[in-house]
Structure 1
């Protein structure tokens, strides 16, 4: 287990952010890896975070076990499997910074467009995108989740135009990422990222991870639906900006 106090100074807030994200405030979790990467390598940070994400998924699924949309899962998961396999196959060749830049730009564009339309009263009626769109965004989500634990924005781009009830939106995301993160386990094993040190460190952070997730669920259920979606849009812009910054500075510095 890692014993460096400096590591936990970064890991504790990172785990809390992921817990709030898993509870429903999607997007906050993307700030965790950059925070932990300040004190350990990005690869090690990702390996430590995956078991934490998996235990938090279980908590969220239990909290929203009666509110989820099976149709969305049926359209997204086949693509997600393909995206994870693609991410594993290209792990040594794909630039994380290029992925961050693209996902950041997509997130910002989508969220700002939705907020402008909503403010102007021109937001289109809820729509359910087709199967091909589900396969595409599922693939993008699986790929970005595999290479950078950044599967949230593509999932939101597909699901948010449907304007699902708040609990159904969060519950569907919980089931989706529970499946995605379990599917990622064999590729992570193949890449040799589950060491005894990393797993024991993850285990030490489990109690905080569970408490933070329950806190996120408690907060989400007390935010009005309209305010909830507005908060998610704002978070998506902020996280997108962070991803663009990381992508640009990383590519320039190569």
Structure 2
């Protein structure tokens, strides 16, 4: 039985999911941690998945014209092996292992984010600065990225992280940021990516009994705060500088991981 405090925490977490889908994706990590604390860790993944799909629909509606489909087509096929591996982990893990696994996945994403930022700074110092047009620079960064994080590897990691902890946001965010994508392009590409991936997760989650009638009723009650968060996020998304966007993602991912691992 959920207490009043539990409902307040879940409502705040749902609003953070809405905000994450229309603004700063890293905020979702904090929401995932709250759900894993209030609910049994294993069942929390199913509750979060349904809310994520609602947020995905909103994000797709808002940012659908900003998606980079060539990048999506490179990433999506490699997600399936990661989903299958993640489903196996969820099937064999107990509650404490799931809680630790969610925290570890979030922490790994934060460390990946720090590593990629450090690598980018080193590369910027080593490479000569040459004038580039606004459309040439992103392509150059994508080519540079191919040597460090192939789309297949990113897709597999994202599939595993999203199946076990709904925590693929940071790795995708950093991949797209390293590719030189602007904030709106990141939001549009991420919106379609996570909508399609989360939709593919539904049969896995249903088969593992992570989604049932009680889960759907709980999520239905949390849709209003999610919508409120999405409205706020949509209003601030275009005003967030890229550097601030990265910083917020990193801090919130680390906080979410710490809350589950301590």
State the TM-score, normalizing by the size of structure 2: 0.82
Contact 1:144 1:150 in 2 (8 A): yes
Distance 1:166 1:241, change over 3 A: closer
Distance 1:92 1:3, change over 3 A: closer
Contact 1:67 1:172 in 2 (8 A): yes
Contact 2:56 2:191 in 1 (8 A): yes
Residue 164 of structure 1 corresponds to which residue in structure 2?
Answer: 181
Residue 11 of structure 2 corresponds to which residue in structure 1?
Answer: 12
Residue 252 of structure 1 corresponds to which residue in structure 2?
Answer: none
Distance 1:37 1:240, change over 3 A: closer
How far did 1:114 drift? 2.3
Residue 206 of structure 1 corresponds to which residue in structure 2?
Answer: 223
Residue 101 of structure 1 corresponds to which residue in structure 2?
Answer: 104
1:54-69 to structure 2, matched below 5 A, reads 54-69=53-68
1:140-219 to structure 2, matched below 5 A, reads 140-219=157-236
Contact 1:153 1:236 in 2 (8 A): yes
- Paired with 1:103 and 1:123, the residues of 2 have a C-alpha distance of 31
- Paired with 1:162 and 1:141, the residues of 2 have a C-alpha distance of 16
Contact 1:101 1:243 in 2 (8 A): no
Distance 1:87 1:7, change over 3 A: same
How far did 1:69 drift? 0.3
How far did 1:117 drift? 5.7
Contact 1:104 1:239 in 2 (8 A): no
- Unaligned stretches of 5+ residues in structure 2: 128-136
Residue 21 of structure 2 corresponds to which residue in structure 1?
Answer: 22
- Paired with 2:47 and 2:18, the residues of 1 have a C-alpha distance of 15
How far did 1:194 drift? 1.6
- State the secondary structure of the residue aligned to 2:38: coil
- Unaligned stretches of 5+ residues in structure 1: 250-254
Contact 1:115 1:230 in 2 (8 A): no
State the TM-score, normalizing by the size of structure 1: 0.84
Contact 2:24 2:249 in 1 (8 A): no
Match of 1:221 among 238, 242, 253: 238
How far did 1:135 drift? 1.1
- Structure with the higher helix share, 1 or 2: 2
